[in-house]
Amino acid sequence: MAQKLNPGEIFPEITLHAVGGDEIQLPGDLDSPMTIVLFFRGHW
């Protein structure tokens, strides 16, 4: 299991596949240094 981030730690570089086929680079594609990221699992 991956370690959780602690306050003040930098978000790791990751690529997410969005619905519709787009890719999102985090944190590179974010417009603001202060952002909340919510991961929704979808189907169980």
40 belongs to a structural domain = yes
35 belongs to a structural domain = yes
pTM for the full model? 0.51
1 belongs to a structural domain = no
3-state secondary structure the chain: CCCCCCCCCCCCCEEEECCCCCEEEECCCCCCCCCCCCCCCCCC
Q: How confident is the model at residue 7 (pLDDT cuts 50, 70, 90)?
A: confident
- As for how many domains the chain has, the answer is 1
5 belongs to a structural domain = no
38 belongs to a structural domain = yes
Please say if the pLDDT value at position 9 is more than 70: yes
pLDDT tens sequence across 13-36: 989 888 888 998 988 888 887 878
Q: How far apart are CA 36 and CA 11, in angstroms?
A: 11
Q: Which residues span the domain enclosing 27?
A: 12-44
Q: Report the pLDDT value the prediction gives residue 23, as an integer from 0 to 100.
A: 92
3 belongs to a structural domain = no
Q: How far apart are CA 6 and CA 10, in angstroms?
A: 9
Cβ burial of 26 (10 Å; 0-12, 13-18, 19+) is middle
18 belongs to a structural domain = yes
